[in-house]
Amino acid sequence: MALGGPKSLVEVRPFMAAFLGSPAPPPIVSAVIERYKQIGNKSPLPELVKAQATALERELGKEFRVSEGFRYSQPTIAESFQKAVKNGATRIIGLSMSPFETEVTTGAYRSAFESACDDAVKKTFIPSWHDNQLFITAWQEKITEVLKRLPEAERKNSVIIFTSHSIPKRYIAAGDPYQRQIEEMVKLVVNRLDIKHWRIAWQSRGAHTTEPWIEPDVETTLDKITLDGHKAVLEVPIGFTCDHMETLYDIDIVHRGHAKKLGLRFERAESLNTSMTFIKALADVVGRVK
């Protein structure tokens, strides 16, 4: 289960309306369309999540069927659930493609999953799996790959920024484990790779929000890294499991552009997407369901 996304520029307006709960003002829609034009005229997320589902089904074997379901685009979570029931499923497992539990995303997935459920079918919802060892290994591989692109001198003095989508602080104050789980997972990766210079930063804050969100943001963190005398930065989108607007636009265009203005060498770890180790991690998560 994932958020979803527009598969063409025509779908941007209805996707935003579904996401916001009402039609977005035309100027905002136009601004978002311009962003999608810069990343290929669509969100790659629906196709990538479908590819992840296909790969996971292959990894799990003949006892399983795996389908994608989206919160704000087709196929919806309810549509995929009903298709599974129609095809004779005796048990349905809901796997959030966000490894970190938060009411903002996984809470919405859980609600959609539970409301779609047929009482005759056994059901299990998996809310988080941030500390899965294969998941950590998948990120270890991606970080190692990109570090190899840096000359040794730069590699030793470079800073790794682990980024995730920010959320309003009120959720954390209410007991939401999202921030804690991300911090735990980052420390596991840092310890595995013996990383000396690293930061956690938060991205993609709501543009017109007035309430406090988790900080610091990425741009502020890049400013501080420059003042500290570092010359190279590696951004790791550890809060995301495949490419979409937040990686292809926010990171590859906005953050990269800010780093360039500061004179920083900027590299980005590839997203997990259909990494074989990541698919094995998902299979391990599903395999642990009782």
- pLDDT reported for residue 206: 76
For residue 268, is pLDDT > 80? yes
Range 22-44 average pLDDT: 96
pLDDT above 80 for 117: no
Architecture of domain 133-268: 3-Layer(aba) Sandwich (3.40)
Q: Note whether 110 and 94 are within 8 A (CB).
A: yes
Question: Within 13 Å and on the Cβ side, how many CA atoms surround 33?
Answer: 14
Q: What is the pLDDT of residue 237?
A: 98
Report which DSSP code applies to 70: B
pLDDT band at 192 (very low <50, low <70, confident <90, very high): very high
Task: Give the residue-averaged pLDDT of 167-192.
Answer: 97
As a whole number of angstroms, the longest Cα–Cα distance in the chain is: 61
For residue 69, name the pLDDT band (cuts at 50, 70, 90). Answer: very high
The answer to whether residue 130 scores a pLDDT higher than 90 is yes
Percentage of residues of the chain with pLDDT beyond 90: 91
Task: Write down the domain spans for the chain.
Answer: 133-268
Evaluate whether 237 touches 247 at the Cβ level (below 8 Å).
yes
pLDDT at 55 over 90: yes
- CA 38, 39, 43, 45: dihedral to nearest 10 degrees? -160
Asked whether 1 and 70 are in contact (CB, 8 A), the reply is yes
Tell me what pLDDT residue 176 has: 97
Whether the CB-CB separation of 135 and 182 falls below 8 Å is answered with: no
Give residue 13's pLDDT: 97
C-alpha separations of 72 from 49, 146, 208, 245, 248 in Å: 14, 33, 21, 15, 20
